[in-house]
Amino acid sequence: MPTLMKAVTFHEHGGPEKLIYEEVPLPQVGPDEVLVRVKACALNHLDIWIRQGIPNYSISLPHISGCDVSGVIDTVGTAYSGSLTPGQRVFVMPGISCGNCDDCLIGKENRCSQFQILGAQRNGGYAKYVAVPAVNVLPMPENLTFEQAAAFPLVTLTAWHMVKSLANVQPGESVLVMGAGSGVGSMAIQMVNLLGARALSTVGTEDKKGKANLLGAEDVINHSTENVADRVAALTNDRGVDVVIEHIGQAVWNSCLNSLSRGGRMVTCGATSGGAHQFDARYLYSRQLTIMGSYMGTRDELLEATRLIEAGTLRPILDTTFPLHEARVAQERMLERKNFGKIVLLPDPGEE
């Protein structure tokens, strides 16, 4: 077994130019861990935030990003006694918890005080190999490619937790999903339809409208040229939507609130445009609105969503693939919001 591997790292925070393709030590596999040979790793906005640097969020440098991994088991730890075996095709649940606290014991792992995300607080999948807790390694659905298996875990889990568990979307309701071209958005639209509700969505360019329609968005609003709240009002006979699924933050916050009907509820899981939200609290209580914060989801939710993926009821949306050494180009594509669906890194030729 070699002692070095290829990976994309950054040694200091900053722009995409900080990403370096280099040789690094092979991860050490703990007794309860599994070493996975990475066959695909999907990008997430978290990769960009971590690389740029988040105040009060410290990581060890140099760092390897990458939350969503699919691959083949290379080695299992000495204390592992489960059914996973070398050579098995697997994907990784990106949320890592302690497994022993009160929240973990009742199946609320995403509330664990020690909760981590692969590729954030610990090295991730922009590499030839990644070491992860064995409990986070799950058999890949047989009908998926490695690219598809890497494209769905984080965004599907996040969207399912938002749409189903928190918002509890009901048949006949109307739901505004912000950012149809994002991973969370593309999954949330499908879930809204699955639950029998009406999906409205937003995009930033005209060429993405048709793609959003194909996903199941009944009406699509171009937020670059249209006032979102005004268009929602027109599309709902001035009633507003029952639910907003939001992950963009500051730039759309008030538009989202203004799009809600009386008694409406909004679920938010991110702030890609900034987190300094300002709004009139009187509007919040006079219209009896509910705002819920969402952070990843639980293992049971991921298993439930994976069954829907395996059945073809939900499908991962792929945008583009890049070889690992082009991680910088891949991140720049995401930063420029050119993607519709997931961008995925693949092993470089000769490193498969």
Digits of tens for pLDDT over the chain (352 positions)? 789 999 999 999 999 999 999 999 999 999 999 999 999 999 999 999 999 998 777 899 999 999 999 999 999 999 999 999 999 999 999 999 999 999 999 999 999 999 999 999 999 999 999 999 999 999 999 999 999 999 999 999 999 999 999 999 999 999 999 999 999 999 999 999 999 999 999 999 999 999 999 999 999 999 989 999 999 999 999 999 999 999 887 888 889 999 999 999 999 998 777 777 778 888 889 999 999 999 999 999 999 999 999 999 999 999 999 999 999 999 999 999 999 999 999 999 877 7
Residue 34 and residue 131 in contact, taking contact as beta carbons nearer than 8 Å: yes
- The residue among 128, 153, 169, 148 whose CA lies nearest residue 44 is 153
Q: For the chain, list the domains and their CATH numbers.
A: 4-152+316-346 (3.90.180.10), 156-293 (3.40.50.720)
**CA-CA distance, 92 to 153, in Å (whole number)?**
8
- The residue among 4, 8, 25 whose CA lies nearest residue 325 is 8
- The residue among 100, 82, 62, 81 whose CA lies nearest residue 108 is 100
Model pTM score:
0.94
**CA-CA distance, 33 to 77, in Å (whole number)?**
5
Q: For residue 119, what are the contacts with CB-CB under 8 A and spacing of at least 6?
A: 44, 46, 47, 50, 64, 65, 66, 67, 94, 125, 126
The amino acid that residue 197 corresponds to is A
**CA-CA distance, 165 to 203, in Å (whole number)?**
25
The amino acid that residue 195 corresponds to is L
The amino acid that residue 70 corresponds to is S
CA count, 13 A, side-chain hemisphere, 154: 29
**CA-CA distance, 114 to 128, in Å (whole number)?**
27
Q: List the structure tokens of 85.
A: 């075996």
